[in-house]
Amino acid sequence: MLKCTKAAEQVEGTEGVWEAQCGDDTGVCTISFRNKDLADVCKVGASIRMQNTSVRMVKGYIRVVVDKWAAFKPADEALEFEANAKNDVSGVEYELVES
């Protein structure tokens, strides 16, 4: 169960890829999807139910990817918590360290 903190926008330089920022009371992350209809679900403050997604690294940043197998729909009830935007796990760049 998530709350949308940043509305869906098309990723610059791509065709058919949108990203939004969603989270819970522990932190937020960037959600990436290709289905334009999902952009309508991602409005600031919207309560969302997300299931069966995957995580991918895109240029060193974490992205939660909503594909055809995932459920990404408005929640049945409005969520009462505020998303913790101070802890943005997609805002940190990671690099592969070989041992």
What structural domains and CATH numbers belong to the chain?
2-91 (2.40.50.140)
The model's pLDDT over 68-90, given as tens digits with 9 standing for 90+, comes to 999 999 999 999 999 999 999 99
Q: What is the pLDDT of residue 17?
A: 92
31 touches 42 (CB < 8 A): yes
β-strand pairing of 2-10 with 47-51: antiparallel
pLDDT tens sequence across 11-65: 998 888 999 999 999 999 999 999 888 888 999 999 999 999 999 998 999 999 9
